[in-house]
Chain A
Amino acid sequence: MSDTEHRLPERDRPWMMRTYAGHSTAKKSNELYRSNLSKGQTGLSIAFDLPTQTGYDADHELARGEVGKVGVPVAHKGDMKQLLDGIPLDKMNTSMTINATAAWLLALYIVTAEDTGVDQQLLQGTTQNDIIKEFLARGTYAFPPGPSMRLIADMVAYTVTEVPKWNPINICSYHLQEAGATPVQEIAYAMSNAIAVLDAVRERVEEDQMGRVFSRISFFVNAGVRFVEEHAKLRAMGILWEELGRERYGVTDEKQLRFRYGVQVNSLGLTESQPENNVQRIVLEALAVTMGRNARARAVQLPAWNEALGLPRPWDQQWALRMQQVLAYETDLLEYPDIFEGSVVMDGLVSELLEGARAEMAVVAEHGGAVAGVDYMKAALVDSHRERIHRIEAGEQIVVGLNKYTETEPSPLMDEEGGIMTVDLGVQQEAIEALAAWRESRDQAAVDAALAEVRRVALTDENIMQATIAAARAGVTTGEWSQALRDAFGEYRGPTGVGEAAAGADDQDIEALREEVDRVSDALGRRLKILVGKPGLDGHSNGSEQIAVRARDAGMDVVYEGIRLTPAQITQSALQEGVHVVGLSILSGSHRELIPDIVTSLREAGVDAPVVVGGIIPEADEQPLKDAGVAAVYTPKDFDMRRIMRDIVALVAEHNGIADPAAAGAA
């Protein structure tokens, strides 16, 4: 080996560094972006609020509590213009985490650029636009699978010629791992998903365009704390991708075959307990995606140390950005060629993963591919997650500070606000008023005509983009565009995956719990019945799914209807189903508005069952919820679901005047 083979002639340029950000209003978010850019961040990553992501305006019933919470609300071209004010769109690389309404947000971006004199040919960036993973893990879908895939194919076909530097879709495996996927599942489902998209696009473009189309598809992946295996996973994905390009789509150009990906590292493993430990986890995970040059990320965004507490403040995000900067600029990481070339361990791990992924891809293909196989994959993810939780409960998987080494000094990182950012509750009202003013000010006839055209095109084979861009120009709102398509395409509820989840292993704990459930059920006259409800637009379903499955395994009858329910729907279900206890799960931060609404609505309907709540509930909010009538509050630190189940059974017993056998025996 010559002297220079183990060094690069020139240090590599670092990957693109982003911070996923946005909140409250377009104006506030614009200020945040500008300040982040001035700190050395090199790209924009826009977080939209849930109403914008699911296609509702701020005044919709389901938007309650969610406007401006976890991202920025963008209702029309005026909001987009304000959001991007002063940012040079011909130079900026903008990533938008937007899926069901991606065509619409891209249209708003294009129209905003147009208004500032930038041609769409120059725009660079990414729309996430991966609907299959929304059905599987993320929950911000709006339309049924068929029409959703068609919208994606339309966008790809449009951008490939009209916005050639745009990545119209980012195939996401990130969210799958966050929903419990194993590395093999993450690879297999992402690749199956890519196949579904490419097959759909193939029907809409000329054959000779497929190489270009293939090269525009990028990935958004995850990296967990088992960072050696995670690096192997990325190498395996690169190999599979190239193989797919050559064999299935006839791509030959090496450059077009390259596997390009961005990352957000694992957040599911970040803890509420001893949250400072998350910093180590994040740095190690960042290594997974940067260590080997042959499979290095193009763009990285890191979560913050307080991930499991609530939304990060600017300082928390700055810390996360600094982690990347230390890695890229202080270490020698970027001075070498691939450091795993020829590694027996790495090659071995890669081939293990490839084998597993190919087998699982074959199973998905047997289910008719990724679209038809959504139900199968969803159930498989719920099941993997069930196993992950079991390993943590049993102590087989060590999580420092959570199930081991739990003794701790008080954390000086916490302030009076609980170490998180809180969004002003007045934001929604402001947004509703601004929306009304916007509707007043526009040419309604032009809006009606534009929406009629969107509706017409939706029912034909024509590409949806032109009509969408015209609607954006006319001042149509996010909710209006989405409703036009809901009218044309119909609505859809994703599968919950819980019905098929296997029962956990029978052990002493669960047996004892079942006996107690049987005893209380006998005293009640019928089996203990629980409603697990997910109010609002929150798509975080992991917790509610696992609670539902565990409650069944404990012997309860469980009603779980999936995500996105209004307080009225939850009330009606609780009443009609005659449940003994109502469990609500909210992680998106809308609990302060929605939970008291639901308790009131339940009581008004005559349902007196106790209500328990779980999710990301900052400590300061616990007492107000209890004052509103909530019996118990659980957060991620309560990782032992066996205990939660025992509490629930005891709560039902107490509420119904059923004596505790232990107490009775002692008396």
Chain B
Amino acid sequence: MAAAGPPDGAALAARLRDGDLAAAPAVLNLVENRGAAARPQIAALLGGVSPTALGAEAAGHVIGVTGPPGAGKSTLLSTLVREWRGQDRSVAVLAVDPSSRRSGGSLLGDRARITFDPHDAATFIRSTAAGTRLGGLAPATRAAAHALAIAFDVVVIETVGVGQSETEISEVADTVAVIVQPGSGDSLQFLKSGIMEIPDVLVVTKADLGQIALRARRDLAAALRSAGSRDTAVVAVSAVASPPVGMAELTQALDAHRATLDLPARRLASRRASALADFVVEHGERGLRAVGGRRDAGRLLAAQDPGDDIPTLVAALEAAAPGIMGTA
């Protein structure tokens, strides 16, 4: 059998614009494709879902869920997905797992924790390996989040980590929820010392563990205050209790954050940050120097059309850095 070429990006964009949720697997297969033949198709896809093409920002709510390993992120998502589906909102989950440095392979374990109804066309779960890059989000995840947000009501990105990865995820998500479990002194320290950015919503899991969960919630609220945050919601949940605890409160807190947000500004910043990150992935620090450093790159991006999609912005950076193309 001959290798099929990458799918038609423009056609996929059209399906997404029509709200065709079944396009999601093919969209992911395309944006994950690092082959040369896929690049123009990815550009066509993202161009076709850009604010310029849509005339508005995509309506979906992009939520980042991050926190230390084993904090209960996936288990929480399993219950949240059910809650959202109960509100008749369609949900896409993009779960990012680390890759093994040695083999390049990965065990994508989050899906196993997320219960889903296989007959429900409005739930989409995709696991992605972070790849060999150190930490952070794969370019594909950023692109996927932007694309799926026009068809799905909620797009959730799950990533592991404390510190570095919140910064990255806050570049993509409209709302960032940091998940910690009771007794996680590290998170407290990170918050106080400013290593961890202040999340939009802070979730303490495993509320079924009783007193320690209560205390964790109090301590974190205090740490948030001392770090200067007044409006971060702190929610305690238990995803394993029957029935689960705190889900309505959590979805309300996420919605409330979204309601107060200047969405166009956040999305614009997100696209520009993503473009810069993708550019650096592609061309390295050398590429960055060729455009005159981070500051100049930022200035150049700020001068572009606010409705531009990520590949268009990356192309603008590449155009400003003569000599880097073809040598990378």
Residues of A within 8 A of B (CB): 144, 488-493, 496, 498-499, 503, 506, 510, 514, 517-518, 522-527, 548-549, 551-562, 566, 568-569, 571-573, 575-578, 654-658
CB-based nearest B residue for A458: B242
- Which of chain A's residues has its CB closest to B120's CB? A572
**Closest residue of chain A to B75, judged by CB?**
A493
* Given A144-B240, A572-B116: A558 and B34 interface contact (C-beta under 8 Å): no
Q: By the criterion CB–CB under 8 Å, are B119 and A568 in contact?
A: yes
Whether A548 contacts B107 by the Cβ 8 Å rule is: yes
Q: How far is the CA of A576 from the CA of B148 in the complex (A)?
A: 13
Given the interface pairs A488-B242, A525-B33, the reply to whether A499 lies near B105 with Cβ below 8 Å is: no
Given A526-B34, A657-B3, A514-B104 contact (CB < 8 Å): yes
Type the 1/0 row for B101-118, where 1 means its CB is closer than 8 Å to any CB of A. Answer: 011111111011101101
A499 to B328, CA, bound (A): 34
Contacts of A575 in B (CB 8 A): 25
Chain B interface: which size bin? Answer: 35 or more
B-chain residues with CB within 8 Å of residue A658 when the two chains form the complex: 3
Specify the main secondary structure of chain B where it touches its partner. Answer: loop
State whether B112 touches A561 (Cβ < 8 A): yes
Q: 3 closest pairs, A vs B, by CB?
A: A525-B35, A490-B242, A525-B33
Distance between A145 CB and nearest chain B CB, rounded to angstroms: 9
Question: How far apart are the CA atoms of A518 and B131 in the complex, in Å?
Answer: 12
Among residues of B, the one whose C-beta sits closest to the C-beta of A653 is B3
Bound Cα distance A522, B106 (Å): 16
- Residues of chain A contacted by B241 (CB below 8 angstroms): 490
Query: Does B105 contact A553, Cβ atoms closer than 8 Å?
Result: yes
Flag if B109 contacts A496 (CB, 8 Å): yes
A490 to B245, CA, bound (A): 13
Docked pose: A654 CA to B126 CA in angstroms: 25
Contacts of A657 in B (CB 8 A): 1-3
Cβ of B318 within 8 Å of any chain A Cβ, yes or no, is: no
Indicate whether B125 reaches chain A with its CB closer than 8 angstroms.
Answer: yes
Nearest-CB distance from B288 to chain A (Å)? 26
Q: Are B126 and A576 in contact (CB under 8 A)?
A: yes
Flag if A558 contacts B32 (CB, 8 Å): no
C-alpha gap A656/B115 in the complex (Å) = 31
The answer to the question of B304 belonging to the interface, with a C-beta cut-off of 8 Å to chain A, is: no
For A523, A548, A554, A557, the residue with the greatest tally of chain B CB atoms inside 10 Å of its CB is A557
Binary contact track B274-285/A, C-beta < 8 Å → 1, others 0? 000000000000
CA distance A510 to B104 in the complex (A): 12
| Chain B residues closer than 8 Å to A525, beta-carbon distance | 6, 32-35, 37-38
19 more CB-based (< 8 A) A-B contacts, given A549-B107, A557-B99, A654-B1: A490-B240, A491-B115, A492-B240, A499-B107, A503-B100, A514-B104, A522-B35, A525-B6, A526-B34, A527-B105, A557-B106, A559-B127, A560-B107, A561-B111, A569-B118, A577-B111, A578-B28, A655-B1, A657-B1
* Contact, CB under 8 Å: A566 / B242: no
* 22 A–B contacts from the bound complex (CB under 8 Å): A144-B242, A493-B113, A496-B109, A503-B103, A517-B104, A524-B3, A525-B33, A526-B34, A552-B100, A555-B105, A556-B105, A557-B129, A560-B112, A569-B116, A573-B111, A576-B125, A577-B25, A577-B111, A655-B1, A656-B1, A657-B3, A658-B3
CB-CB under 8 A for A558 and B104, given A525-B34, A576-B25, A578-B25:
no
**B residues less than 8 Å from A523 (CB atoms):** 3
